[in-house]
Amino acid sequence: MNAVPQIYAVRVVREAAPDPITGKFYEYAEQTFDVEADSPQGAYKVANWVCTLHFSGQLRRTFINGAEHFDERY
């Protein structure tokens, strides 16, 4: 039986840090959006696809409905 899709509030954060190869510094940034998915893990996967922030070695944090979410596959 499939779970019923629902709307999840997602916030993706890029922590401020330099690019490990070029040394270019990237400031703190965040992006928020809503995602329709059947689970928080599904929302996490969609967030990875739709986020437009540039990451190059910076810490990426994903919050779903206000709680930090980690990829359940690892």
- The dihedral formed by the CA atoms of 59, 16, 66 and 2, expressed in degrees to the nearest 10: -40
What's this model's pTM, rounded to 2 decimal places?
A: 0.86
C-alpha 63: how far from its chain's center? 7
60 or 57, greater pLDDT = 60
**Is residue 1's pLDDT more than 90?**
no
- Please give the Cα distance from 32 to 29 (Å, whole number): 10
Range list of β-strands (E), the chain: 6-14, 17-18, 25-26, 29-37, 60-64, 67-69
Percent of the chain with pLDDT over 70: 97
Q: For position 49, what pLDDT does the model report?
A: 93
